[in-house]
A and B are shown apart, each in its own frame.
Chain A
Amino acid sequence: MASEGGLDLPDRLQVERARRGDAAAFGALVRRHYRAAYAVALAVLGNPMDAEDVCQDAFLRALERLDKLQQPERFLAWLLQIVRNRARNFLDYRRVRSARPLEDLSAGTDETPAREAERQELRRALGSALAELSEIQREVVLLHDLEGWKHREIAEALGLSEGMSRQHLMGARRLLRERLGAKLLKEYSDD
Chain B
Amino acid sequence: MTDDRIDFSALDPTRDDERFEQIVHSITTAAARELAARRARASVVGQVALWWRPLLAAAAVAGIVSITTLARVQVAAPDETADVGLAEAIGVPSQIAEWVRSDEPPTPTELFVTLESE
List residues of chain A with CB under 8 Å of any chain B CB: 18-23, 26-27, 30-31, 34-35, 38, 42, 48, 52, 55-56, 59-60, 63-64, 107-110, 119, 122-123, 126-127, 141-142, 144-146, 173, 176-177, 180, 184-190
Contacts and interface: CB of A to CB of B under 8 A. Distances in A.
B79 interface: no
A23 B31 contact: yes
A148 to B, nearest CB: 9
Contacts of A189: 1-2
Interface stretch (B9-17, B61-69, B87-95): B9-17
Interface residues of B, number: 34
A141 to B, nearest CB: 6
B4 A30 contact: no
Contacts of B18: 110
A180 B37 CA distance: 48
Interface stretch (B21-29, B47-55, B98-106): B21-29
The 7 A-B residue pairs whose C-beta atoms are closest, nearest first, are: A21-B39, A21-B38, A122-B10, A146-B8, A20-B42, A145-B5, A186-B7
A20 B39 contact: yes
Interface string B33-61: 01111111110000000000000000000
Contacts of B30: 56, 60
A184 B12 CA distance: 14
A126 B40 CA distance: 45
A26 B10 contact: no
B7 A185 contact: yes
Contacts of A107: 13, 16, 19
Given A21-B36, A21-B37, A59-B27, A48 B3 contact: no
Contact of A176 (B3, B6, B36): B6
Interface of B: 1-8, 10-14, 16, 18-20, 23-24, 26-28, 30-32, 34-42
A177 B4 contact: yes
Contact of A42 (B11, B23, B24, B32): B11
Given A34-B13, A56-B30, 10 more contacts: A21-B42, A23-B28, A34-B14, A59-B27, A60-B31, A146-B12, A177-B4, A186-B4, A188-B3, A190-B1
A150 B78 CA distance: 79
B23 A52 contact: yes
